[in-house]
Amino acid sequence: MRQQNHKVPEPLLEALSRYVIPAIYKEAVHDAAQAHQISANQSLGLAKAALSPDSQACASMVLAWYQLGIPVAHIFSCGVRNAAAHLGEWWLADQISFVEVTLASERLQHLVLNSQGLFGKPLSAATPDNGYVIMLAKAAPCQHTLGLLVVGEIFRQQGWCVLNQSEQGVAWVDTLAYTHVHVLGVSVALSDQLSAAQTLIATCRRASLNTHLTVMVGGPYAMTCTDLAAKVGADFVALDASEGEQQARIRVDAWRRTTSSNQALYNSQMAHKSE
């Protein structure tokens, strides 16, 4: 079914067939409403809806789930993720074309981007801002960004301010120089992006206003490369967004406690000297 007269570059084929929308992140949201789950058939239906001629089919389906009481975070991290995995499998099996998988990918991305329009409130509306800031970036340019979009929404749900590389423009690294960013999250899709990831992380550390910038690395390649953090100069690897958010929070809180203790000790010493 692939168009024989449309030659797609091999690196792009590799990214599409394995990582387009697929198991980029294996989100696992543990919410209290365990009675409301998205079934395998429902995720399959969403994948088919993404391929249908009806451009509103996806939105209608997830809105129906929401009205049944399924939490928004679960819709994105489970329903959308599993639907994306189906699309990736169909592409690998040569059941859908390059155009079809691209269009379906864009429709699933639109669900995440338009969460406020769909559900009447942003995913993070019920969660107060806790002062944490994360910047999300890709090791190398890539057309498909569904994985990072979902990760950003999961972090927002937990109260983080999320800055996205694509939203900051070409000089996005400069944002790190005047904004106190606690965590940099870098997605690595393929093994040939290791050098780019290493260079990007080193550049960001040098530019960062926060001299204690914590770097989290994840993405498709993290699933198979156990020492990815060491190879690119990151602080830790996150195999899914929920795990990454928890580890990032722990590290930022530890740094805050250390900074607070050091400041208290300094104030005490200065007070003692002045007596």
The CATH number of residue 139's host domain is: 3.40.50.280
C-alpha distances in angstroms, 69 versus 49, 74, 122, 229? 21, 10, 16, 38
Domain with 48, as residue range(s), is 10-119
Which residues is 184 bridged to in the sheet?
135, 215
197 in the same domain as 106: no
Dihedrals φ, ψ of 96, to 5°?
A: -135, 155
pLDDT in tens, 53-73: 988 899 889 988 988 888 777
Q: Total domain count for the chain?
A: 2
The continuous run of DSSP H or E covering 106 comes out as helix 98-113
pLDDT in tens, 134-176: 999 988 876 556 778 878 877 887 889 999 887 776 788 899 9
C-alpha distances in angstroms, 127 versus 120, 124, 131, 239, 248? 15, 5, 12, 24, 17
Identify the band that residue 129 occupies on the pLDDT scale cut at 50, 70 and 90.
low
Residue 56 lies in a domain: yes
32 in the same domain as 77: yes
- Residue 129: how many CB atoms within 10 A of its CB? 11
Residue 75 lies in a domain: yes
Residue 49 lies in a domain: yes
137 in the same domain as 241: yes
148 in the same domain as 90: no
pTM of the complete model? 0.65
The continuous run of DSSP H or E covering 164 comes out as strand 161-164
- The structure tokens listed for 108 are 């699933």
174 in the same domain as 139: yes
